[in-house]
Amino acid sequence: MTTAPRQSSTAPVGPVDSSRVPRFAGPATFARLPRVDEVGGTADVAVVGVPFDSGVSYRPGARFGGNAIREASRLLRPYNPAQDASPFALAQVADAGDIAANPFNINEAVETVQAAADDLLDTGARLMTLGGDHTIALPLLRAVARQHGPVALLHFDAHLDTWDTYFGAEYTHGTPFRRAVEEGILDTSALSHVGTRGPLYGKKDLDDDEKMGFGIVTSADVMRRGVDEITDQLRQRIGDRPLYISIDIDVLDPAHAPGTGTPEAGGLTSRELLEILRGLSGCHLVSADLVEVAPAYDHAEITSVAASHTAYELTTIMARQIAAARGA
């Protein structure tokens, strides 16, 4: 089932005017945008938090990531020169608050996130989800696939996240994309990891990943081949398929994102990540998530700032597509 874009006869409600209300004042919604209940209960793009990190295998704390990103997003401005767009004027973007998931029962939490995502998508919204750990990608993909069928996936991460189990648990932050392939909710002709690096448990990890259909662009590939060539490769792999983008902030080097649970040396710069995303403008982006921001390890809010700008670029891509579909 595909829901038609939300139609509105009124102009979108934008963020608070920072020339009148200081950025450090007022509620910390994403980019100081209205809450979804302040725009009639529906939005074209719903920014939603999932404060859940019970699926992590190392450092906890990503349950606080969504609100840290919201705080850092106070610095965002309404015009995006890199994409030549004012996203909050093109489409109604609103903060839908948080999905409250059981922190003591991962299986129940996965079901809760999926049900809440289903409800939001049924309003016609696209989702920009702020995690939380990467466990939440699976229920989000289930909900998106219910709308669009199997989707293309770009997975930005230091890690593969296609392992089978941890301590016998099938649902963790290292397993969502294996489960998604097993469930048939991904288009296995259009899957790619971007930014992977670091040690693995064995070569079998790569062999299994290839059998699932994933292509791999390592962080070293981005460094050697450059952003433009990599972006062209990704666009060719995706084509015009419905696309879901999932970003673990540890795709960035710890110099650019120290505030995360499983850091790996040798990652992308924040500039490289943003430029790749900008190069994907025009792809059929149906929803996205941004996970694994753990503010307890984030000195000077470096990670949260990078994450807020990443979410801004993704939101801009979706807003532009929505406006184009309406002929705006």
Q: What is the DSSP string of 223-252?
A: HHH-HHHHHHHHHHHHTTS-EEEEEEGGGB
* 214-218 vs 243-248, strand pairing mode: unpaired
Residue recorded with tokens 């993704």? 314
| pLDDT recorded at residue 4 | 47
Strand residue runs (E) in 91-165:
93-98, 126-131, 151-156
Please give the Cα distance from 35 to 312 (Å, whole number).
16
Peptide bond into 132 cis (omega under 30): yes
For residues 76 and 309, the answer to whether their CB atoms sit within 8 Å is yes
- Torsions phi, psi for 247 (to 5 deg): -120, 115
Q: Is the dihedral of CA 236, 238, 241, 247 positive or negative?
A: negative
Does domain 33-325 correspond to CATH entry 3.30.70.360? no
Please give the Cα distance from 63 to 132 (Å, whole number).
5
| pLDDT recorded at residue 126 | 98
Local confidence pLDDT in tens for the 328 residues of the chain: 444 445 555 899 999 999 999 999 999 999 999 999 999 999 999 999 999 999 999 999 999 999 999 999 999 999 999 999 999 999 999 999 999 999 999 999 999 999 999 999 999 999 999 999 999 999 999 999 999 999 999 999 999 999 999 999 999 999 999 999 999 999 999 999 999 999 999 999 999 999 999 999 999 999 999 999 999 999 999 999 999 999 999 999 999 999 999 999 999 999 999 999 999 999 999 999 999 999 999 989 999 999 999 999 999 999 999 999 998 6
For residues 42 and 26, the answer to whether their CB atoms sit within 8 Å is no
Please give the Cα distance from 247 to 203 (Å, whole number).
24
Contacts of 187 (CB under 8 A, 6+ apart): 150, 151, 152, 153, 241
Please give the Cα distance from 63 to 133 (Å, whole number).
7
Left, alpha or beta for 195 (phi > 0: left; psi -120 to 50: alpha)? Answer: left
| pLDDT recorded at residue 183 | 98
| pLDDT recorded at residue 10 | 83
Q: Is 39 helix (H, G, I), strand (E, B) or coil?
A: helix
| pLDDT recorded at residue 192 | 98
The two tokens of residue 120 are: 């939001």
| pLDDT recorded at residue 314 | 98
Q: How many helices (H) and strands (E) does the chain have?
A: 10, 8
Q: Where are the alpha helices (DSSP H) in 123-263?
A: 137-148, 176-182, 203-212, 219-225, 227-238
Domains of the chain by residue range: 33-325
Q: Which amino acid is at 77?
A: R
Q: Is 287 helix (H, G, I), strand (E, B) or coil?
A: strand
Residue recorded with tokens 């004027």? 89
